[in-house]
Amino acid sequence: MNRRLLVFCTTVLLAGLLTACGGKASTPSSTASPSQVETTPASPSATASASPSASPQASPSEETEPSATPEPTEVAKTYRMNKNYFIVPIDKEKTDNKVVLLTFDDGPKDHITLDPILDTLDKHNAKAIFFVNGYRVKANPDLLKVIDERNQVIGNHSWDHISLKKENEAKIKDQIESVQTIVKEVTGKTPVFFRPPFGAGNDAVRKITKDNGMLFMTWSNGSLDWDMNKTAEDKRPQAVIDNVMEQLHPGSNILMHELPWTAKTLDNLLTQLEEKGYSFVDPNAIDTEL
C-alpha cells in the first residue's frame, strides 16, 4: 500500500509540475508587442468635447445679423439762391442766415492739391461744390470719384473752360451736356449746379442749364486765389483770407480754386469764418428749382 501511495503521489506531483510549466510557457505568447496593440476607438461620449458639434451654439436670438447699409437721407431744402448769387434762407425765421457757400472751380487736378482741401473740409464738417471741367474729368476720373466718395458735391463748369457766351447754341449745349454725361458715367450722379467759366453767360447758356435740371450761378465773394501773379508766393495764403474777409456777408457764395496756396490756407480760413459765427451751408440744402 505504501508503494502504491508513493507512486500515486509521484504521479500527482509530476502532473502539477507539467501544468505549471505549461502555464509559464504560454505567458509570453499572450502578451502583445506594442506594434500589435490595437487602439480602441473612444466612445462617442468620450470624444464629444472635441467634436465641432459640441461647441456652444448661439441661439437664433443671440446671432448678430450684419446691419444693412442705411439709405442716404435726403437733405431738407432750407436755402435758395437770390438774384445776386447769395445763399439765403427760405424761411428767415427758422433758418440761420449766417452761412457761407464754399465752392472750388477748375478741377479735378491733382491729389497733391485736392486731398488737403478734402481733409480740411472733413475737419470742419463742411461741404462744398466742386465745379469740374470735362477735359479734367476725362484725364482724372479717379479724382472725381474721390470727391464723390468723400461726400462732396460735384457741379458742372463746362467741358473746356471757354467763354460760352461767345459760342453758338449747339456748341454751348455740347460743352454743358458732355460734362453731365461724363460725371454720370464716373459717379452715377448728375450735377444740379452749373457755373459758367469766367461767370460769362447769356440767355442760351441759362436756357440749356435749366433744360438740364441745373441751377445757374456765378459767385458773390471772389477769393482772387486765381489772380496771384503779382503776389509773392509766401504771401498768397494770407491774401486769399484777406480777400474773402473783405467781402464777407451772410450768404456769401465764395469762389475758390484747387490751387496750392488755397489748399494751404483753407484750414485757417474756415477757422476764422467759424470764429466770426459763420457755418457752412450744405449745397444739398439749396433748392435748385426756386
Known catalytic residues are 105, 257
Residues near 173 by Cβ (< 8 Å), separated by ≥ 6?
208
* Alpha helices (H) in the chain, listed in sequence order: 2-26, 44-47, 111-123, 134-139, 141-149, 169-187, 203-211, 236-246, 260-275
Residue 127's identity, in one-letter code, is: K
Q: Is the dihedral of CA 272, 273, 275, 279 positive or negative?
A: negative
Cα angle value 218/220/225 (rounded, 5°) = 85
Is residue 244 within 8 A of residue 254, CB to CB? The reply is yes
Residues present in the chain in total: 290
DSSP 88-123: EESSTTTS---EEEEEEEEE---HHHHHHHHHHHHH
